Amino acid sequence: MPVPPVSKRHDKMILTQPQLEQSTNVEPIRKICCIGAGYVGGPTMAMIAKQCPDIEVKVVDINADRIAQWNSDELPVYEPGLDEVVSESRGRNLHFSTDVDQAIADAQMIFISVNTPTKHFGVGAGRAANLEFIEKCARKIAEVAQGHKIVVEKSTLPVRTAEAVKAILAGASSGATFDVLSNPEFLAEGTAVEDLVAPDRVLIGGESKAAVDALVDVYAHWVPREKLLTTNLWSSELSKLTANAFLAQRVSSINSISALCEATEADVDEVAMAIGMDSRIGPKFLKSSVGFGGSCFQKDILNLVYLCEYFGLPEVAEYWEQVVKMNDYQKTRFVRRIVRTLFNTVSDKKIGIWGFAFKKDTNDTRESAAIYICRDLLHERAKISIYDPRVDAEQIRRDLADVMRNGDSELSAASEKLLNENVEIVTDIHEASKDAHGIAVLTEWDEFKDADFERIHNEMKKPAFIFDGRNILKNLPLADIGFIYQGIGFSR
Ligand code: UDX
Ligand code: ADP
């Protein structure tokens, strides 16, 4: 078997590209800037600043409110442990600012960490990634930069986006020169700090050996060298999409089996345990749920589907699209089951919604299953009372208004009426459950397991139903209290 070439500068475990260009010599990195202070940029840069006290890190964003929050005690992103990481370095070598131009001018290395949502208009609508924010960043860098800069794509991007970034940078009128690297982020929300401290791997794709080495040296401050993997640019870009597609596929696979379990009296958690003990399959990402959410899975799969179609691979596109379809089916199935169980109508019935975030330990609601389940319950004329320990009421209202808009982005009078009259957002679990016919558990917040179920049962309409979209209450004696309890992927 051919042995991959090994970097001379680093430990022998770092695999490097055979054809890396020996381009411009790069000074050790002392100044970094990150464009985009979101869920990825903020925590990632805070960790770099903490681990690399010799490097000045400036995080910039055009959103002044967001920057003000990063500079306050109420960070815009809720992540366990993040407050400590930020407060350790903020004001020392970690700075948050709206002065994008100055930060670009000062930095040797510029991370682009802006959002790349699914396009909602024009060619590729509903599938392709909207790259307008990336392009604007590249143009800004080309306009402001002097000398040599290393530009690092942190955002998840379609394969070969670096080509477009390079083309834009090549047009820099100042004569500045650039190396472009891909360094996708694999952190998961809710465990971002742990994932950043001890990543499974850090992936760096690039063509210039000097630039790749410069970024390897930054991470080597705390990440063991054998976890620093270097590849070509295009493999790096594609690996991120592929990792998310594989993870989402596991969730859709187990969710598809959950439907079969409900029909056959098998129990999906037992099936997951049994298959997960096979070391070839492994136990992670086999938790059946009301459907995956988050800013990445659906967007990245749709992006993969679009790429496959673009490159004339319709069979591959169709294969991956099924993962998203199965996820939609899981959400629809959950609502149908609620309606069927509540005697075929939820019209005018109160349903308590426990949890709105797309998973526990985050305040992020992007693509949360809760958004779609609430929408469908509203279409059934249910009255929903929502409680989430971390998500702002305004965010919930915005998400519901967005999902109720029609194809022309307009909110019909009927939808507006439903939003005004059938939705309440409350500040505790008891308020959400009082006088409710049913409770739908949509996020697996730990505090839900410790609720006072006797009191909740007393205060609900009877019969009192719990629909557990996360199977977190499965082992509690809810039936003894008098609840009718249904979870995902088993029947009782
Ligand atoms: C994901 C990837 O895990 C991460 O590597 C990438 O950088 C960004 O996208 P994230 O979306 O933050 O991270 O969370 P993740 O833990 O992957 O969960 C995604 C969704 O799948 C959540 O809604 C979660 O509840 C759901 N899920 C996950 C399940 O339903 N079952 C599981 O077994 C695992
Ligand atoms: P992610 O989850 O990928 O971090 P977010 O939406 O949380 O995505 O964060 C992306 C951030 O990028 C937002 O705060 C947004 O204001 C910022 N942003 C987008 N475009 C630009 C730009 N051209 N210059 C600076 N910041 C930008």
- Ligand 2 binding pocket includes 358 (Cβ within 6 Å): no
The Å distance, Cα 191 to ligand 1 centre, comes to 10
Residue ranges matching CATH 3.40.50.720 in the chain: 14-231, 297-486
pLDDT of 6 strictly over 90:
no
**Cα of 477 vs its chain's centroid, Å:** 34
CA of 292 to the centre of ligand 1 (A): 7
Taking the CA of residue 41 as reference, the ligand 2 atom at the shortest distance is 4
Ligand 2 centroid vs 406 CA: distance in angstroms? 26
Residue with token string 């939003």 = 419
Mean pLDDT of 153-160: 81
- The dihedrals phi and psi of 286, each to the nearest 5 degrees, come to -120, 25
140 CA closest ligand 2 atom index? 23
Q: Is 36 in the pocket of ligand 2 (CB under 6 A)?
A: yes
Whether the CB of 35 sits within 6 Å of ligand 2: yes
Q: Which residues are annotated as a binding site for substrate?
A: 185-189, 240-244, 280, 287-293, 358-359, 470
Ligand 1 atom showing the smallest separation from residue 300 Cα: 9
Confidence of residue 66 (pLDDT cuts 50, 70, 90): very high
Q: Given pLDDT bands bounded at 50, 70 and 90, which one contains residue 14?
A: very low
202-259 pLDDT, tens digit per residue, is 999 999 999 999 999 999 999 999 999 999 998 998 999 999 999 999 999 999 999 9
**Is ligand 2 within 6 A of the CB of residue 391?**
no
Which ligand is closest in space to the CA of residue 66? Answer: 2
* Residue 24: per-residue pLDDT: 55
Topology of the domain comprising 14-231: Rossmann fold (3.40.50)
The verdict on domain 297-486 having CATH code 3.40.50.720 is yes
- Read off the amino acid at residue 71: N
297 lines ligand 1 (CB under 6 A): yes
> How much of the chain exceeds pLDDT 70, in percent?
95
> For residue 94, which of 134, 64, 51 has the smallest C-alpha distance?
51
- Give the integer Cα–Cα distance in Å for 150 and 180: 6
Q: Is 136 in the pocket of ligand 2 (CB under 6 A)?
A: yes
Q: Per residue in 78-111, pLDDT tens?
A: 999 999 999 999 999 999 999 999 999 999 999 9
Q: What is the pTM of this model?
A: 0.92
Q: What share of the chain is helix, strand, coil (3-state, %, to 5)?
A: 45, 15, 40
- Place 160 in a pLDDT band, splitting at 50, 70 and 90: confident
Atom of ligand 2 nearest to the CA of 155: 3
Classify each residue of 338-361 as buried b or exposed e, where b means 16 or more C-beta atoms within 10 Å of its C-beta.
Answer: bbebbeeebeebbbbbbbbbbbbb
